[in-house]
């Protein structure tokens, strides 16, 4: 039977995931959905059918990433300098210098993850002296994994970090022999100091945030992603920081399907957070493109993970009672929850 289609992709190698016919040469799309896969002769082209010749290229089903921070990351993506795949530190520092020349006054340069010193020919991280030389006046924040961050002198001034700034809990502001901050921040062992410092940076205006979010989604599309679960995150409040993605959804401009989690924001006020949010949304509320997935990535601050694996593994705070953990984690019958392990009862 001939199938009318709005779009046909022909002369390709289509991975169908159908064991009866694992590979096809053509797929047909109607009303934004794939309706069939087969050979070129299986589809009827109408006067308005668009045909794209794949010329032997591979087509795969869209990928899903079960843990991303697209909603938060999209708000700042246009302001990021990406070192993904950069072959040498010299190239990275050159890019940093060029970025400083085009960054508007008041804005920061952000290198937020996606790189490691082992990708560089020099096999090392940049020094603070090199970062300051590349961008002497523009604030620079360079995140290395979840263990440390490099700030130039302009960023230290923008953040207000001085000799009198105390170390936050589970974090360190590294200092020189005179007690002045050097620009190195270390998670010892929790990365809150890194997140909190990055959050001090200026935001884009709403229209620029929407443009930034569209660019972030299209970059993920380029890598094959068509759907994700957004894990929420620290300094990402609901509903304020979801306004941009909700507006893009309203406009029909989302290119990713997103199921989002709500991440509690206030230590010892987790119950209040979730009680307030459940009046606005809840698991399953939304549609095929944008809906609430539930609670996460973190339910309670007292059970937070730690990120710097170069540091000794910390124990959970002794203030957490075994009873509260039993209520929180609801172990299966026959199990008992301890502070650092689950044991099976005899």
| Tens-place pLDDT, residues 179-204 | 999 999 999 988 989 999 999 999 99
Q: What is the pLDDT of residue 3?
A: 61
Q: What is the pLDDT of residue 344?
A: 36
Spell out the SS3 assignment of 51-84. EEECCCCEECCCEEEEEECHHHHHCCHHHECCCC
Q: Does residue 54 contact residue 28 with C-beta atoms inside 8 Å?
A: no
Please give the class, per CATH, of domain 73-198: alpha beta
102 contact partners, CB below 8 Å, separation of at least 6: none
Q: Does residue 221 contact residue 253 with C-beta atoms inside 8 Å?
A: no
Would the pTM of this model clear 0.85, i.e. be above it?
A: no
Please give the class, per CATH, of domain 3-61: mainly beta
Burial of residue 106 (CB within 10 Å: 0-12, 13-18, 19+) is exposed
Segments making up each domain of the chain, as ranges: 3-61, 73-198, 206-301, 315-344
Summarize the chain as % helix, strand, coil (round to 5). 30, 25, 45
Intervals of the chain under pLDDT 50 = 320-346
* Nearest-angstrom CA–CA distance, 152 and 171: 18
Q: 181 vs 164, 211, 306, 344, CA distance in Å?
A: 9, 36, 23, 49
Q: What is the pLDDT of residue 176?
A: 97
Q: Is 243 left (phi over 0), alpha (psi -120 to 50) or beta?
A: alpha
């Amino acid at each position: 039977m001939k199938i009318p289609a709005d779009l046909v992709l022909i002369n390709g190698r289509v991975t169908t995931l159908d064991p009866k016919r694992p590979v096809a040469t053509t797929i047909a799309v109607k009303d934004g959905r794939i309706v069939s896969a087969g050979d070129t002769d299986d589809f009827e082209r109408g006067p308005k059918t668009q045909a794209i010749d794949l010329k032997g290229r591979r087509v795969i089903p869209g990928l899903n990433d079960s843990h991303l921070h697209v909603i938060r990351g999209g708000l700042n993506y246009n302001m990021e300098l990406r070192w993904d795949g950069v072959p040498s530190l010299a190239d990275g520092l050159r890019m940093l210098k060029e970025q400083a020349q085009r960054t508007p006054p008041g804005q920061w340069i952000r290198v937020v993850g996606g790189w490691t010193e082992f990708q560089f020919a020099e096999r090392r991280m940049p020094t603070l002296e090199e970062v300051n030389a590349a961008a002497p006046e523009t604030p620079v924040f360079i995140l290395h994994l979840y263990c440390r961050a490099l700030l130039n002198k302009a960023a230290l001034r923008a953040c207000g970090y001085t000799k009198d700034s105390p170390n936050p809990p589970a974090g360190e502001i590294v200092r020189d022999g005179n007690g002045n901050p050097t620009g190195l921040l270390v998670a010892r062992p929790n990365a809150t100091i890194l997140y909190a410092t990055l959050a001090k940076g200026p935001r884009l205006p709403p229209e620029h945030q929407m443009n930034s979010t569209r660019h972030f989604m299209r970059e993920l599309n380029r890598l094959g992603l068509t759907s994700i679960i957004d894990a929420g995150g620290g300094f990402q409040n609901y509903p304020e920081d979801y306004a941009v993605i909700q507006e893009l959804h309203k406009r029909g401009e989302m290119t990713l399907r997103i199921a989002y989690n709500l991440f509690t924001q206030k230590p010892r006020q987790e119950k209040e957070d979730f009680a307030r949010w459940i009046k606005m949304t809840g698991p399953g509320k939304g549609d095929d493109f944008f809906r609430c997935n539930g609670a996460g990535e973190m339910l309670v601050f007292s059970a937070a993970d730690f990120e710097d694996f170069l540091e000794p593994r910390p124990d959970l705070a002794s203030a957490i009672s075994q009873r509260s953990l039993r209520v929180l984690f609801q172990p299966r019958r026959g199990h008992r929850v301890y502070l650092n392990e689950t044991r099976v009862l005899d």
